[in-house]
Amino acid sequence: MSQTLELRRKSFRLQDQELAPLAPGRGNCIASDLITREGQKVAFMYREEPDSELDSGWRFISGLESEEFMADVDNHAICDCNLVANFDPEIVPLLDAPVGVIFEREDGTGPFVEVLDFVVPRE
């Protein structure tokens, strides 16, 4: 996904002046529009090798996305990790985890648990 996603300005559900500094300086990430535009919480998050020096490597998904939704790069945004943290502060303690880690919420709710038996598909 990240190789074909271009940086373009999108309007998010929260504006810059509404954001609390929950995860400042963490860099950019890729997040589903269901999080950044609809305000859903994160249900699945993983960290891959960053695409650039501004990229944290974090990827955030709400868990409500269909395959068709995920396949359309226009349904994802490059944004600051702090934006996602403002929608779901429970991600903040996990943001220092190393590249390669995967976390999910069982059934999309509850606390995050590390996933050890899943490999993120690559394009």
> For residue 98, what are the CA distances in angstroms to 3, 9, 49?
21, 28, 10
Spatial CA neighbour of 60 closest among 51, 52, 68, 80: 80
Q: In DSSP terms, which residues pair with 59 in a beta bridge?
A: 30, 46
Does residue 82 contact residue 92 with C-beta atoms inside 8 Å? no
pTM, two decimals, is: 0.85
CA distance 115 to 105: 10
The angle at the Cα of 118, spanning 114 to 122, to the nearest 5 degrees, equals 120
Q: Tell me: pLDDT of 3 over 50.
A: no
Residue 93, amino acid: P
Note the pLDDT of residue 123: 58
Residue 46, amino acid: Y
Note the pLDDT of residue 70: 94
Residue 37, amino acid: R
Q: Tell me: pLDDT of 7 over 50.
A: no
Tens-place pLDDT, residues 12-69: 766 666 789 999 999 999 999 999 999 999 999 999 999 999 999 999 999 999 999 9
Exposed e or buried b per residue across 42-79, where buried means at least 16 C-beta atoms within 10 angstroms of its C-beta: bbbbbbbebeeeebbbbbbbbbebeeebeeeeebbbbb
Tens-place pLDDT, residues 90-111: 999 999 999 999 999 988 789 9
